[in-house]
Chain A
Amino acid sequence: MAIDIKNIADLLKKQVSDVKLENQVVDVGEVIFSGDGIIKVKGLKNVKYYEVLAIENGASAIALNLEEEEVGAVVLDDDGSIAQGMQVKTTGKLMSVPVGNALLGRIVDPLGNPLDGKGSIDTDKYREIEVPSASIMDRSPVSQPLQTGLISIDSMIPIGRGQRELIIGDRQTGKTAIAIDTIINQKDKNVICVYVAIGQKSSTVNEVAHKLEAYGALDYSIIVSATAKDSAPLQYIAPYSGCSMAEEFMYNGKDVLIVYDDLSKHAVAYRTLSLLLKRPAGREAYPGDIFYLHSRLLERSVKLCDALGGGSITALPIVETQAGDISAYIPTNVISITDGQIYLETELFNAGTRPAVNVGLSVSRVGGSAQIKAMRSVAGTLRLDLAQYRELAVFTQFGSDLDNVTKAVLTHGEKLTELLKQPQYRPIPVAKQVVMLYVISLPSLLAISKKHVNKYFDEFLKYVEENNPAVYSDIDSTRLLSDENKQWLAQAAESFTKSFLEKI
């Protein structure tokens, strides 16, 4: 017992002597107005934009309005006790967050404080949340795939590491579900995931955390949460904090996936701040720099050149539309910034097509360069087949009055649509996706009707696993579907189809 106490005393003494105490020069001001999470301060002649201010009651604020006679600042942890006349000091530091490995597996708020009750975050590395993105020459083209595990996306709207792909749709169309499935699919793929929740319900964030933990994804993920109960300034800085945490890994050569859920609520939080700071209101009352708010955030998702370690940040921003209107202000802004969008439709969702991806309106501007060759070859005609199917789909009511060619296109399209449906939390590895897409177009599959497609493939994929797992491992290692394997698959499909039809 005595030894422990002596140890503690020694530790404290060492800690105290290690601290460097210097004479300080600080800028001091006085609060002349406090309300709605905003303070106006008189004095502070040399304050910098975005500098962190320390208020007498212990709270922090960020200086955002630098005017001639006063400084407008937003309070980050307002407990309502800031009174007029309180002293405000500059800290000389711009807003920063803790970063590093200590954050993996944790749920934190935008300031880096833990929210999951698993103890404090033990790190000595900090990064500023507002930093310029990598310069033009520091970047490299996107060439590696980021597999979402969702066959409809990986085949037709492929995402590469370093790309920004927007997930856009009405409420309850499965936007967050796509993001969560993608995070779960990054297991053992050496990709760190950051999920930034902006303005959501605490219960939703809780659910996300539980699902990630249940599927073993929390170990390589960080959840940054600024829920609806948090102040507008916290919701405003949340995506930038998350991005800085991601950049720490990226600049050390790792690949990171960051999900911003969602940017519509982020825009609303920024609008709240701007209106309270009396900045002029523009279209839909959003401030003039609402585009810059999102463009500077998304520009920080890059693929770095090899000289800087070759790391990347892939961004999946989520935007919620009202009544499917993708030509509204914020959606059009974010669409013009990102490298493509995944458009989810309520009609498709209600009709049972889940993920409810509208293949016609969705696009990935990186496209084929973000796919392995095997996938490129089997998914090549997929879009076209589905487009032809959609054109003719209205004629399905006529049934027997159609010619054979039209009937063939329709049945094939229906089967493809069935194949692309996928339950939640069941990402499919890319090798299996390639096999599925290759086999569906084989002549032996003509005998399988659309209602049996999913059952057929569940069993067929297992059959391949049991009888010739080299098919999968070959695709994984060579990234090609060899002719030998194609032949084997064609033969296996023929015999398997026969036995499958006998069973039903």
Chain B
Amino acid sequence: MKTLRVLSSKPLAQESKEKIENLFIKKVEGQVEFVYEVDASVIGGIKVIDGSIVYDGTLAGKLEQLKQSLR
């Protein structure tokens, strides 16, 4: 039984949640449980954490990439 944590800056609407769940049920094997959390530090977008793998679609992540590339 896998637990996938979904982080977003604001609570997600039901259709957004359904889209996410449909996408990740295909990616992950076995039974999946989704846990939704609100985390303001992501600024925007979502982050899905599957054990040690992080699918980062957040604005905070993109800003970090930008910072790295401007070094």
Chain A residues within CB distance 8 Å of chain B: 15-16, 19, 21-29, 43-46, 89
Pairs A-B, 3 closest by C-beta atoms = A43-B52, A23-B57, A21-B62
Q: Which of B17-25, B29-37, B63-71 contacts A (4 or more CB under 8 A)?
A: B63-71
Knowing A19-B65, A23-B57 are in contact, say whether A45-B70 is a contact too (CB < 8 A).
no
In the complex, how many angstroms separate the beta carbon of A484 from the nearest chain B beta carbon? 65
Determine the distance from Cα of A28 to Cα of B51 in the docked complex, in whole angstroms: 9
Closest to B66 in A: A19
Q: If A23-B57, A24-B61 touch, does A44 touch B66 (CB 8 Å cutoff)?
A: no
**Partner of A43 from B51, B55, B57, B70 at Cβ < 8 Å:** B51
Minimum distance in angstroms from B57 CB to a CB of chain A: 4
Chain B interface main SS type = mixed
A12, closest chain B residue (CB): B70
Q: At the interface, yes or no: B40 with Cβ under 8 Å from chain A?
A: no
Residue numbers in B under 8 Å from A16 (CB-CB): 66, 70
Return the CB mask of B31-58 against A: 1 if under 8 Å, else 0. Answer: 0000000000000000001011111110
Contact A29 B52 (CB under 8 A): yes
Contact A25–B66 (Cβ < 8 Å): no
Partner of B56, one of A19, A26, A43: A26
Residues of A within 8 A of B69 (CB): 19
A25 partner, pick from B51, B54, B65, beta carbons under 8 A: B54
Query: Looking at chain B, what size class is its interface with the partner chain?
Result: 10 to 19
Query: Per a CB cutoff under 8 Å, which of A15, A25, A45, A89 touches B55?
Result: A25
Residue on A nearest B65 in the bound complex, by CB: A21
Give min CB distance, B20 to chain A, whole Å: 13
Q: Evaluate contact between B55 and A28: CB separation under 8 angstroms.
A: no
Whether A15 contacts B54 by the Cβ 8 Å rule is no
Residues of A within 8 A of B52 (CB): 27-29, 43-46
Query: Given A15, A21, A23, A28, which contacts B53 in the complex, CB threshold below 8 Å?
Result: A28
For A16, A21, A45, A89, the residue with the greatest tally of chain B CB atoms inside 10 Å of its CB is A21
Question: Do A25 and B56 have beta carbons less than 8 Å apart?
Answer: yes
Q: Which residue of A lies closest to B48 (CB)?
A: A25
Closest to B61 in A: A24
B66 near A23 with CB under 8 A, answer no
User: Which chain B residues border A24 with CB–CB below 8 Å?
Assistant: 55-56, 61, 65
| Interfacial chain A residues near B56, Cβ < 8 Å | 23-26
Chain A nearest Cβ from B26, distance in angstroms: 15
Q: What 12 new A-B contacts, CB under 8 Å, besides A28-B52, A45-B51, A45-B52? A: A19-B66, A19-B69, A19-B70, A21-B62, A21-B65, A22-B65, A23-B56, A23-B57, A24-B56, A28-B53, A43-B51, A46-B52
Cα distance A447–B12 in the bound complex, in angstroms: 102
| Chain B residue at minimal CB-CB distance from A46 | B53
Contact between chains at A25 and B53 (CB < 8 Å): yes
Contact (Cβ within 8 A) B53 A45: yes
Output the nearest chain A residue to B58 by Cβ-Cβ distance: A23
In the complex, what's the smallest C-beta–C-beta distance from A400 to chain B, in angstroms? Answer: 79
Who on chain B is nearest to A26 by CB? B54
Nearest Cβ on chain B to A174's Cβ, whole angstroms: 43
Chain A residue contacts of B65, Cβ below 8 A? 19, 21-22, 24
List chain B residues, Cβ under 8 A from A23. 55-57, 61
Known: A19-B65, A21-B62, A21-B65. Is A27-B53 also a contact (CB below 8 A)? yes
Which residue, B52, B53, B70, has most C-beta atoms of chain A within 10 A? B52
- For A26, list chain B residues within 8 Å (CB): 53-54, 56
A28 proximity list for chain B (CB < 8 A): 49, 52-54
29 A-B interface contacts by CB (under 8 A): A16-B66, A16-B70, A19-B65, A19-B66, A21-B62, A21-B65, A21-B66, A22-B65, A23-B55, A23-B57, A24-B55, A24-B56, A24-B65, A25-B53, A25-B55, A26-B53, A26-B54, A26-B56, A27-B52, A28-B49, A28-B53, A28-B54, A29-B52, A43-B51, A44-B52, A45-B51, A45-B52, A45-B53, A89-B54
**Complexed CA–CA distance, A45 and B54 (Å):** 11
Residues of chain B lying within 8 A (CB to CB) of residue A29:
52
Please give, as numbers and ranges, the residues of chain A lying within 8 Å of B62 by CB-CB distance: 21
| Shortest Cβ distance from residue A386 to the other chain B in the assembled complex, whole angstroms | 59
A46 vs B54: C-alpha distance when bound (angstroms): 11
Instruction: Compute how far the CA of A15 lies from the CA of B66 in the bound complex, rounded to whole angstroms.
Output: 10
Provide the residues of chain B in CB contact with A43, threshold 8 Å.
51-52
- How far in angstroms is the closest Cβ of chain A from B39? 15
- CB neighbours of B55 from chain A (8 A): 23-25
The docked-state distance in angstroms from the alpha carbon of A89 to that of B51 is 13
Which residues of the other chain, B, contact A21 by a CB distance below 8 angstroms? 62, 65-66
User: A15 and B70 in contact (CB under 8 A), knowing A21-B65, A25-B56?
Assistant: yes
Interfacial chain A residues near B66, Cβ < 8 Å: 16, 19, 21
A328 to B69, alpha carbons, bound, how many Å? 48
CB distance from B68 to the nearest CB of A (A): 9
Residues of B within 8 A of A46 (CB): 52-53
Give A46 to B50 CA distance when docked, in angstroms. Answer: 12
Residue of A nearest to B46 (CB): A23
**A contact residues around B53 at 8 Å (CB):** 25-28, 45-46
**Of A22, A24, A25, A45, most B-chain CB atoms within 10 Å:** A24
